[in-house]
């Protein structure tokens, strides 16, 4: 009789186990806890393209056979942008060789980007002794499609090159020359034949196609029809990644969702936002922008909250590395978007590596390293009580 009970118990337990299988699996994180995932409103065809781009971005690891290097920084896109978030000093880039708007004088020596790693049998690049350089921590990828879809007119409306309003803040665009394969946006604004850069620490890239093709080439040593020159030999070689894959990755980056703010109704967070605005932080880290018309319907005419004005600002001597891109000065940096800031630790190994080169290990340290046009805001922050400082930081962590 005991054996029958045992048998029945085993069968029933097994059956219950089987039918409850999904309940035994790990739950998905909440949407506001992660940075990856597509924007809402994509068509099924667009979903497929997003998935292809997701695989190419996060799963494709380049090897010698697939064209890696011979000089490189990283072996895949995803290794620099874990979970589509900010990068880590392990994958920080180094750029060198340009000190002013006259261009990079070290292109013949491997500039602008240092490939600090090499496959066996090759030696990685070294920074020439007389070249200045700057380190760039990989940025988060989220919401890039929204940034991409802001009209040039809206960016120019935020610019104040001569500080006409006398607030000490004078954002300017970085005017860059377009690569041959780039198609300018409709209604793009030009200055002496140059266009407004909007991606990268120095806003040195015009759009996500330029950014992506350059990353394949400069970060992984992968040539494409867009960037056909091998970074080591300088010779034009066969494409090592297809146009379709590059376009899929560009689409993936364009359609990654915007970070979702957390604890919106928390009293401290709300007060922190007020303090953020009162301290004039929001004059550069503009809370709200809107997109123009986009070929991707889900991105058209949307209001979003990136906390950036996409313009270049003087950040003072402390952040002047002596290197630049386009027409920007060496002390000018594009206002980084603050959205997703609170989730940075989840992609940076549990700690913060903030500012352009990851030198700030906390949000407060990053604030205190602001200078130049941001000096007044920093002083206002310093004047806050300890409690108010914590509320302001709590607000930033909620982004």
Task: Name which position in 255, 327, 347, 398 contacts another protein (CB under 8 A).
Answer: 347
* Pair 259, 356: CB distance under 8 Å: no
Query: What number of other Cβ atoms are within 10 A of residue 399's Cβ?
Result: 24
Task: Name which position in 39, 49, 54, 79 contacts another protein (CB under 8 A).
Answer: 79
Query: What number of other Cβ atoms are within 10 A of residue 77's Cβ?
Result: 26
Q: Show the CA angle centred on residue 335, arms to residues 209 and 129, nearest 5°.
A: 75
Give the integer Cα–Cα distance in Å for 149 and 154: 10
Q: Does 120 bind another protein (CB under 8 A)?
A: yes
Q: In terms of Cα–Cα distance, which of 72, 77, 114, 64 is closest to 250?
A: 77
Q: In terms of Cα–Cα distance, which of 287, 237, 282 is closest to 376?
A: 282
Q: Does 121 bind another protein (CB under 8 A)?
A: yes
Q: Does 25 bind another protein (CB under 8 A)?
A: yes
The per-residue DSSP string of 33-66 comes to: G-S-SBPTT--HHHHHHHHHHHHHHHT----TTT
3-state secondary structure of 140: coil
Residues 224-253 that bind another protein (CB under 8 A): none
Which residues is 337 bridged to in the sheet? none
**61, two tokens:** 């690891």
Q: Does 137 bind another protein (CB under 8 A)?
A: no
The span of 81-89, 206-214, 228-236, 321-329 binding another protein (CB under 8 A) equals 81-89
The smaller minimum CB distance to another protein, of residues 17 and 181, is found at 17
Q: Does 74 bind another protein (CB under 8 A)?
A: yes
Task: Name which position in 5, 22, 45, 295 contacts another protein (CB under 8 A).
Answer: 22
The H-or-E segment that residue 304 falls in is strand 303-304
Task: Name which position in 8, 47, 51, 64 contacts another protein (CB under 8 A).
Answer: 64
* Pair 168, 160: CB distance under 8 Å: no
* Pair 277, 162: CB distance under 8 Å: no
Q: Does 5 bind another protein (CB under 8 A)?
A: no
The smaller minimum CB distance to another protein, of residues 6 and 383, is found at 6
Give the integer Cα–Cα distance in Å for 281 and 1: 77
Residues 168-227 that bind another protein (CB under 8 A): none
Least distance from C-beta 60 to another protein, angstroms?
Answer: 8
Q: Does 370 bind another protein (CB under 8 A)?
A: no
Task: Name which position in 29, 166, 180, 295 contacts another protein (CB under 8 A).
Answer: 29
Q: Does 359 bind another protein (CB under 8 A)?
A: no
Task: Name which position in 1, 21, 129, 164 contacts another protein (CB under 8 A).
Answer: 21
Instruction: List residues near another protein by CB under 8 A.
Output: 3, 6-7, 10, 14, 17-18, 21-22, 24-29, 61, 63-65, 68, 72, 74-76, 79, 82-83, 88-90, 92, 117-124, 346-350
């Amino acid at each position: 009789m005991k054996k029958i009970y045992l048998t029945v118990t085993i069968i029933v337990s097994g059956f219950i186990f089987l039918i409850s299988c999904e309940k035994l699996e790990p739950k998905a994180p909440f949407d506001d806890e992660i940075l990856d995932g597509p924007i809402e409103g994509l068509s099924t065809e667009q979903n497929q393209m997003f998935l292809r781009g997701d695989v190419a971005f996060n799963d494709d690891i380049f090897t010698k056979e697939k064209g890696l290097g011979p000089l490189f920084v990283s072996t895949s896109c995803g290794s620099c942008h874990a979970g589509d978030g900010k990068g880590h000093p392990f994958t920080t880039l180094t750029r060198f060789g340009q000190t002013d708007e006259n261009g990079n004088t070290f292109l013949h020596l491997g500039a602008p980007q240092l490939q600090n790693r090499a496959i066996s049998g090759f030696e990685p690049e070294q920074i020439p002794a007389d070249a200045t350089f700057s380190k760039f921590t990989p940025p988060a990828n989220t919401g890039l499609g929204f940034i991409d879809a802001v009209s040039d007119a809206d960016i120019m409306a935020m610019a104040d090159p001569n500080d006409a309003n006398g607030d000490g803040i004078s954002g300017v665009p970085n005017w860059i020359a377009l690569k041959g394969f780039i198609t300018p946006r409709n209604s793009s604004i030009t200055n002496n034949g140059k266009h407004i850069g909007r991606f990268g620490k120095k806003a040195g890239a015009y759009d996500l196609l330029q950014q992506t093709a350059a990353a394949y080439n400069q970060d992984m040593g992968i040539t494409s029809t867009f960037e056909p020159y091998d970074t080591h030999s300088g010779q034009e070689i066969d494409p090592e990644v297809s146009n379709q894959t590059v376009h899929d990755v560009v689409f993936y980056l364009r359609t990654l969702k915007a970070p979702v703010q957390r604890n919106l109704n928390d009293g401290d967070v709300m007060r922190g936002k007020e303090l953020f605005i009162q301290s004039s932080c929001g004059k550069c880290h503009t809370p709200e922008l809107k997109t123009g018309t986009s070929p991707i319907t889900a991105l058209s005419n949307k209001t979003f909250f990136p906390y950036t004005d996409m313009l270049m600002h003087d950040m003072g001597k402390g952040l002047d590395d002596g290197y630049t891109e386009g027409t920007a000065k060496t002390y000018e940096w594009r206002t980084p978007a603050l959205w997703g800031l609170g989730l940075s630790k989840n992609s940076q190994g549990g700690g913060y590596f903030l500012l352009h080169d990851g030198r700030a290990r906390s949000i407060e340290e990053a604030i205190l390293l602001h200078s130049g046009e941001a000096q007044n805001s920093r002083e206002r922050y310093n004047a806050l009580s300890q409690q108010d400082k914590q509320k302001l930081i709590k607000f930033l962590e909620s982004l």
